[in-house]
Structures are given as structure tokens and as C-alpha cells.
Structure 1
Amino acid sequence: MSSSTKRCRPWRVFLNPFSLSPPISFGEAKRRIHHNITYFTYNYSLVSLLILFLALIYHPLSLIVFLVVFVFWLVFYLSRNESLVIFGKVIDDNVVLILLRVFTVVAVGLTGVWLNVIVGCLVAVFIIVFHAAFRITDDLFVDEENLSNGLLNSVVSSSYRLV
């Protein structure tokens, strides 16, 4: 994932109620979900962390663990502008994101609030998929960096690679 797709998109664009419309087909919903999750990855990560935080509000020990884990999120994902390099190898942002998600669920779950973690994660997934399916993608433009990498997003299909 490039740094351009990782940055936080403006919240007024993300939450614009005029950009919501039911998809006309299941295929359209899948296309919107794929495009919006790629475009709003950073925003969706913050939304899911907020929902998990709210699910733990009445469990002080879990909140402390969550805040410690949130520091890892800040260091390894939210505040980085460049790719993570470990032992000379560049670690893809998708791998970092998956590892942070698993680490968060396991660390907070080990405090004995598995039900809260599971419910919080399910609520976050539901809200994210609902928003991604209903968020129109026509006003989301292709990044110049993706164009320079040879990627074009089409209204008809997900992506093409220029030859």
C-alpha cells in the first residue's frame, strides 16, 4: 500500500451524507466495498479502533492495555509516512495492518473481555462494510502516485495495469 492510500482522507469526504446511495446490484456493492476500503483504509482503521475503545469503556484494565496497544498503532501505522524496513526488508503496509489488528485483538482479549472484543469487532465490520457498500465512489479520484505506478481505477472494473 502506498503512502498516498494510507493517509487519512478528509472526514467531510468520508462522512458526506450526500455521497450515500444504495448499490443497484450485488456486483456494484462488491466494487464499492473494494474501492472504498482501499481508499479509506486509514479512516476505517480509526473508526474500528474507536468502536473497540467504546466496547471496553467499562473495563479499566482492558482500556489500559488498549492504550498501550494504541501506541503501537501510532508508531507502526498511523504516524509513519514511509514504508517500514526491518533487517533491510521493506514490510508492506497491509502486513503491518494485519499484524496490528491481530495483536490488538489478542492483547485486549487476554484481559478477559473476549465477548466485548468480539462484539466490538463485529460492530466495526458491520459499520465499515455498510458504509463502504453505500458510499458512492464516483467522487473519489485516482491518486497521482497510483497513476505514476501504472494503476488506473475504472468505473467499470476494479483496476488495470498499464503496459
Structure 2
Amino acid sequence: MATPETISAAGVSTALGSATPSTRAAAARAFLGRISENWQQALSQSRPWRELVDRTSFGKPDSLSDATSRIRKNVAHFRLNYALIFTAVLALTLLSNPFSLFLLCGLLAAWIFMFIIRTAPLILFNRTFSEREALALMGLLSIVVIFMTNVGSVLISAAMLGAAVICVHAAFRVPDDLFLDDDVPASGGLLSFLSTGPSPPPIASHV
């Protein structure tokens, strides 16, 4: 007799195995649409770049705690600007390493082909692979490309360089002239604009 657990597992396996190209394309479009919406929301939260590079607002921090406080406040205020700087550092680092950039572009193209463009089942060495097995193969390929080549070290170096640039700027940028919005949490971080947005205000009930 089949238990509810086995029925549930069978249902999940069937759903994964019956994913059609149109379903994958629809999911990809929804994902890209969400990224576009989050990006538009992020642009609405951007700060003027002249505030970021105002030379009169720079000064040496008095102590480590003062530098930490400045970093926290500046990251909360300029989080989108810093995210763009981080992205620019990552892009420039990859452009200076064409082989790593080529491998990453090839890996991205493989993911797009496997789960968006491909319309027929995956057949390798006279064996048909399910969607779950194809996902596992792509995950293994990604691990090999990132960690078995110099791509991983390039990405880590770029991330460390970008973080260092942001921390140095934020530590020397005096935040006394910044007025943080009340609806923006100070601990939002660089990628806080990727959230789904502020929650709607509660509806008051009348007795």
C-alpha cells in the first residue's frame, strides 16, 4: 500500500520529469521580469554620485569603532552605488582575465541551452537523462569550471578588491551630512534592494 510520503515523492518526481520547454521558458521569463522589477526599484533608491565623491566630506576616522560606524552608515545610504562599484570591479577584473571570462560565458550559455533552449531529452552515451539528473550534471560542471580552474580565484580576488574599495571609501567618508530615510533600515546591506519591497501598512479594523 502506498504511503502519503511515497505518493508525495512520486508527485515531485513526476513534476520534475514532465517539465516542458514552454514551462522552463515561462519560469525564465518570470525570473528575468523579477530581476527587472528589482533593478527599477534599486534605481529609484540611488543616491547622487556627487554625494559619493564630495571631497569636503572626507576625513580620517578617529578610531576603529568610528571607522566601523562610518562604514555601516555609508553602506546603508549608498548601498546601490556601492553595489554598482562592486559590479564594475568584478567586470573589470573579468575583462582583464579573458580566459576566465570565456569560461564563465560558456558556462552561462550551457545553462541557458540546457534549461531554456533545449526541447529534446538529454541523451549522452546512449542514455536518456531526466531533468533532475541534467540539473545535477550542470551543477557538477559549474563546480569544475569555478573551482578546478582559475575562475574561482579570479572571482574571489575581484570580490575582495571590490569589498576593500568600498570599505576604504566608507571609512573615510564622513556621514554627518547624510540623512538616512526612516523607511530604510541601516542594516540593509549592499543587496537589500533585491528584496520584494516594503510591506504594505496594516489595515486598521473598526469595531
Q: How would you bin the TM-score normalised by the shorter chain?
A: 0.5 to 0.7
Partner of 1:33: 71
Q: Does 1:45 align with 2:89?
A: no
Counterpart pick for 1:127 among 149, 165, 185: 165
Alignment partner, residue 51 of structure 2: 13
Residue type of the partner of 2:172? F
In the aligned structure 2, how far is the partner of 1:47 from the partner of 1:35? 17
Aligned-residue CA RMSD (Å): 3.2
**Range 14-23 or range 56-65, more displaced:** 56-65
1:138 has 2:176 as partner: yes
The percentage of aligned residue pairs carrying the same residue is: 34
Distance (whole Å) between structure 2 residues aligned to residue 24 and residue 58 of structure 1: 37
Structure with higher helix content: 2
- Do the aligned residues in 2 keep the contact of 1:53 with 1:63 (CA within 8 Å)? no
| Pairs within 5 Å for 1:81-160 | 109=146, 112-143=150-181, 145=183
- What amino acid is aligned across from residue 154 of structure 2 in structure 1? N
Q: Report the count of equivalent residues.
A: 109
Structure of greater relative contact order (alpha carbons < 8 Å, 6+ residues apart):
2
TM-score, normalization: structure 1? 0.55
| SS, match of residue 133 in structure 1 | helix
What residue ranges of structure 1 are gaps of 5+ in the alignment?
70-105, 153-163
Distance 1:128 1:43 in 2: 10
Cα separation, partners in 2 of 1:114 and 1:38, compared to 1, 3 Å: same
Larger Rg over CA atoms: 2
Tell me the distance in 2 between the aligned counterparts of 1:115 and 1:142: 36
Which residue type is aligned with residue 167 of structure 2? V
Q: Compute the displacement of 1:116 (Å).
A: 1.5
Q: Which amino acid letter does the alignment assign opposite residue 133 of structure 1?
A: A
The TM-score normalised by the length of structure 2 is 0.44
The 10-residue stretch of structure 1 (7-16 or 111-120) with the greater mean CA deviation from structure 2:
111-120
Q: Which amino acid aligns with 1:30?
A: T
> CA–CA distance in 2 between the matches of 1:112 and 1:22?
37
Query: What residue identity is the alignment partner of 1:39?
Result: H
Deviation at 1:18, TM superposition (A): 1.5
Question: SS of the counterpart of 1:138?
Answer: helix
Q: Which residue of 2 aligns with 1:98?
A: none
Checking the alignment, whether the CA contact within 8 Å between 1:9 and 1:40 is kept in structure 2 is yes
Structure 2 unmatched ranges of 5 or more: 1-40, 109-142, 187-207
Indicate conservation of the 8 Å contact 1:22/1:134, yes or no.
Answer: yes
Aligned partners of 2:65 and 2:159: how far apart in 1?
25
